[in-house]
Amino acid sequence: MDLFSQIEEPEREELKALRKELEDANYKYYVLNMPTLSDREFDEKMHRLQALEAQFPDMFDPKSPTQHVGSDLGKKGFEQVRHKYPMLSLANSYSREEIEDWVRKLPAGVEIVCELKFDGLSISLWYEHGQLVRALTRGDGQQGDDVIANIKTIPSIPWRIERTDIPESFELRGEVLLPWKRFEALNKEREEQEEPLFANPRNAASGTLKLQDPKEVARRGLTAYLYYMLGDNLPGKTHYERLQTAREWGFHISDAIKVCKNVDEVMAYIAYWDTERKNLPVATDGIVLKVNNLAQQEELGYTAKTPRWAIAYKFPAEKQLTLLKEITYQVGRTGVVTPVANLEPVQLSGTMVQRATLHNEDFIRSLDIRPGDRVWVEKGGEIIPKITGRAERENSDPCATLALPLRYSFPTLCPECGTPLVRVEGEAAWRCPNEAGCPPQIKGKIEHFVSRKAMNIDGLGEETIDLLYRQGLLHNIADIYDLKAEDIAAQERLGEKSAQNMLAGIEASKQVPWARVLFALGIRMVGETTAKKIARAYTSVDTLQWATAEQLCAVEDVGPLIAENIVRYFEDIRNLEILDRLRQAGLQMALSEEELSTFDSRLSTKLQGQSIVISGTFSRHSRDEYKAMIEANGGKNVGSVSKKTSFILAGENMGPEKRKKAETLGVKMMSEEEFLEMIK
């Protein structure tokens, strides 16, 4: 090895390491919806990798993350379809100077359209003869998942354009978003149900669009903005005209679009929206600049990943440095102990922040965070602010460093009840095992039990629960049904009227169906949807009580961890006593006759043992409805065609690959009419 390559060696290693790290970050961001790097860190690393690749052209690799967009493919249940035109990403910069440079380098007199950069996930909508026929995610840029059933639940996306002056086919691209309000409500709900929170509205929108249940998608309230029309024989010579046309045709186009004639107008637009965007109902993370004239766009052309006729300016993330005064610990309803940073108060996106999560022990250790440090706090999209980093310790005086605790250690005893904490193998969290005796766990379980989606008992809020707990009247959920009017009325702050309200709420809760009672019990990891599925498979507490972990795993959505939690719940004699008292109080511990009969009448065995592939688009029912019908008739919906496929439920525009495979294997195809006739 010559001297030069020895000098270069560390940089070549860095290049390889960056490729790996960015590939990994793309996967976690796009597929798992769990980002590990901030956008800024990601972009900085990407820029560094680009610079290194320019320095070492011999290391060019078409598979490098600089050469392709991150891929969100990998979810089951959606048909993958090739894009007519690849879906590219945008070159971006955090520097206003770079943006100015970019504008200045364009040929003189070029008009620039400025738009908001919406922070959701991109979608490609295909219209044929005025009808929405496909809705593809970006996927890997070359092919995407067809999520049309979910897209059709978005009110701002038209299913049909009733006009005669539109081209035979065209494509509109845009961004699917979950508005801030909806995002916050969704996360609040998930917090109550102890489901993992979405880090920001983008992740929530992406997770939502990949659900297999359009009803749930509809409930969450997605919206969309469209910003790019493609196709042959489209009207207009400029990007701006095309968007105006799209608006006339009924598409949801942002009003914030402006044609700018020079760099000053562009910079003024950026300055205006930098603050004004905070009043928008949806998340934006920058401004997109596009050359207006389509012929000029063509001239400028494309790189492998991005158009040369557009660039994005990205707003800096909202974060602040502040003093970490103290670390305290909060115990949740399932006993998880979360470290909380108590901060010198700081302003962050319009609110004062003084507490932020430090996540868990590993996080604190990995950043070597100690009280007295200056730490970065970020709100991003989350409700709960989080600590994301630590500033370098400035003072090199060894005595000053010694004033900090030498090494961080997580408490060994529960801060609330003194019980030794346990850490489950493979989990990051420490947990207090004293379920029945640890105050926040006791109160948290009762709060969960009475919450709106569980037993929905009005008049029994957090403060009242705390009061009744301290008075020794409430120790577990069964105690609720032993509360007496005079006990309640005797409490200061609670009078006759509160007592009446509360008792009416308690009485009404006795009609709450079994699935919700099961959810209300607060078994770890058994959320609302899982509880529903279990309640259908195990139609009463008596059958559920004897189910083994293996049997439980056969229920949809139930994995070994959930199964284990359920089995463990029923092994605890204290829980069995509580269940017994709930039953005696008159709660619904089984599906009602009515639920059973509607449930049964829907079941048939017409498709028992059959594996059925659904492909194409349908007019009578949605894809998901067909899936539900197959399952309700005892069949199995599978994703790909094989020898074992019984038949294909084939709609319009069935994927050519599937069709070919079906023909080669001789698998029968059935139209939706034939299918409906068969299961009638």
Radius of gyration of the chain (CA): 29
Q: What share of the chain is helix, strand, coil (3-state, %, to 5)?
A: 40, 20, 40
By CB under 6 A, the residues from 602 to 621 that bind ligand IVH are none
By CB under 6 A, the residues from 126 to 185 that bind ligand IVH are 175
Q: Residue from 228, 269, 313, 519 that binds ligand IVH (CB under 6 A)? A: 228
Rounded-to-integer distance, Cα 622 and Cα 148, Å: 9
Sign of the dihedral through C-alpha 219, 224, 230, 231: positive
Closest to ligand IVH by CB, 207 vs 335, is 207
Annotate each residue in 276-305 with x if it binds ligand IVH (CB under 6 A) or - if it does not, as one string.
Answer: ------------x-----------------
Rounded-to-integer distance, Cα 11 and Cα 5, Å: 10
Annotate each residue in 347-386 with x if it binds ligand IVH (CB under 6 A) or - if it does not, as one string.
Answer: ----------------------------------------
Which range touches ligand IVH (CB under 6 A), out of 111-119, 240-248, 351-359, 607-615? Answer: 111-119
Nearest approach in angstroms of CB 643 to ligand IVH is 39
Q: Does 90 bind ligand IVH (CB under 6 A)?
A: yes
Closest to ligand IVH by CB, 130 vs 381, is 381
Closest to ligand IVH by CB, 227 vs 519, is 227
Nearest approach in angstroms of CB 157 to ligand IVH is 15
Closest to ligand IVH by CB, 71 vs 360, is 71
Closest to ligand IVH by CB, 174 vs 459, is 174
Cα–Cα nearest to 443, from 473, 414, 466: 466
Backbone angles phi, psi at 350, to 5 degrees: 85, -5
Cβ atoms within 10 Å of 310's Cβ, excluding its own: 23
Q: Residue from 30, 42, 94, 118 that binds ligand IVH (CB under 6 A)? A: 118
| C-alpha distances in Å from residue 188, one per residue of 185, 210, 334 | 5, 20, 17
Rounded-to-integer distance, Cα 629 and Cα 644, Å: 20
Rounded-to-integer distance, Cα 298 and Cα 285, Å: 27
Q: Which two tokens stand for residue 306?
A: 């991005």
Rounded-to-integer distance, Cα 259 and Cα 271, Å: 15
Cα–Cα nearest to 657, from 139, 151, 146, 30: 146
Q: Residue from 33, 64, 122, 530 that binds ligand IVH (CB under 6 A)? A: 122
By CB under 6 A, the residues from 302 to 341 that bind ligand IVH are 307, 310, 312
Per-position DSSP letters for 157-214, written without gaps between them: S-SB---SSS-SEEEEEEEEE--HHHHHHHHHHHHHTTPPPPSSHHHHHHHHHT-S-H
Nearest approach in angstroms of CB 14 to ligand IVH is 25
Rounded-to-integer distance, Cα 293 and Cα 285, Å: 25
Please give the size of the binding site for ligand IVH, defined by CB under 6 A. 14
Nearest approach in angstroms of CB 306 to ligand IVH is 7
Nearest approach in angstroms of CB 307 to ligand IVH is 5
Closest to ligand IVH by CB, 252 vs 374, is 252
Nearest approach in angstroms of CB 257 to ligand IVH is 8
Q: Which two tokens stand for residue 305?
A: 């990943």
Q: Which two tokens stand for residue 162?
A: 């009733």
Q: Which residue in 45, 117, 319, 379 is the catalytic one? A: 117
Closest to ligand IVH by CB, 276 vs 556, is 276
Rounded-to-integer distance, Cα 455 and Cα 513, Å: 9
Q: Does 94 bind ligand IVH (CB under 6 A)?
A: no
Q: Residue from 78, 126, 227, 430 that binds ligand IVH (CB under 6 A)? A: 227
**Among all residues, whose Cβ is closest to ligand IVH?**
122
Q: Residue from 19, 68, 83, 117 that binds ligand IVH (CB under 6 A)? A: 117
Q: What is the 3-state secondary structure (H, E, C) of 102-148?
A: HHHHCCCCCCEEEEEEECCEEEEEEEECCEEEEEEECCCCCEEEECH
Q: Residue from 89, 296, 491, 604 that binds ligand IVH (CB under 6 A)? A: 89
Any idea what the Cα angle at residue 660 is, between residues 658 and 662, rounded to 5°? 65
Looking at residue 428, what DSSP letter applies? S
Cβ atoms within 10 Å of 432's Cβ, excluding its own: 26
Which range touches ligand IVH (CB under 6 A), out of 113-121, 403-411, 556-564, 650-658? Answer: 113-121
Closest to ligand IVH by CB, 200 vs 451, is 200
Nearest approach in angstroms of CB 227 to ligand IVH is 4
Closest to ligand IVH by CB, 122 vs 588, is 122
Tell me which long-range contacts 492-495 makes (C-beta under 8 A, separation of at least 24): 493/467, 494/464, 494/467
Which range touches ligand IVH (CB under 6 A), out of 26-34, 116-124, 210-218, 585-593? Answer: 116-124
Which amino acid would we find at residue 496?
Answer: E
Cα–Cα nearest to 485, from 459, 509, 510, 511: 459
Q: Is 117 a catalytic residue?
A: yes
Rounded-to-integer distance, Cα 250 and Cα 248, Å: 5
Q: Residue from 15, 22, 88, 197 that binds ligand IVH (CB under 6 A)? A: 88
Decide: residue 405, CB within 10 A, 0-12 exposed, 13-18 middle, 19+ buried: exposed
Rounded-to-integer distance, Cα 70 and Cα 65, Å: 7
Rounded-to-integer distance, Cα 259 and Cα 111, Å: 7
Annotate each residue in 24-63 with x if it binds ligand IVH (CB under 6 A) or - if it does not, as one string.
Answer: ----------------------------------------
Nearest approach in angstroms of CB 268 to ligand IVH is 18
Closest to ligand IVH by CB, 228 vs 538, is 228
Which range touches ligand IVH (CB under 6 A), out of 87-95, 429-437, 491-499, 546-554? Answer: 87-95
Which range touches ligand IVH (CB under 6 A), out of 110-118, 140-148, 315-323, 517-525? Answer: 110-118
Asked if residue 300 lies in contact with residue 318, where contact means CB atoms within 8 angstroms, the answer is no
Nearest approach in angstroms of CB 110 to ligand IVH is 17
Cα–Cα nearest to 427, from 359, 474, 515: 359
Nearest approach in angstroms of CB 137 to ligand IVH is 10
Bridge partners for 329 per DSSP: 339
Closest to ligand IVH by CB, 299 vs 427, is 299
Asked if residue 79 lies in contact with residue 254, where contact means CB atoms within 8 angstroms, the answer is no
Q: Which two tokens stand for residue 183?
A: 């995002």
Which range touches ligand IVH (CB under 6 A), out of 83-91, 426-434, 492-500, 505-513? Answer: 83-91
Asked if residue 662 lies in contact with residue 669, where contact means CB atoms within 8 angstroms, the answer is yes
Nearest approach in angstroms of CB 116 to ligand IVH is 6
Helix (H) or strand (E) holding 477: none
Nearest approach in angstroms of CB 224 to ligand IVH is 11
Q: Residue from 111, 115, 528, 672 that binds ligand IVH (CB under 6 A)? A: 115
Q: Does 110 bind ligand IVH (CB under 6 A)?
A: no
Which range touches ligand IVH (CB under 6 A), out of 86-94, 393-401, 574-582, 670-678? Answer: 86-94
**Catalytically active residues, by annotation:** 117
Q: By the criterion CB under 6 A, which residues form the site for ligand IVH?
A: 88-90, 115, 117-118, 122, 175, 227-228, 288, 307, 310, 312
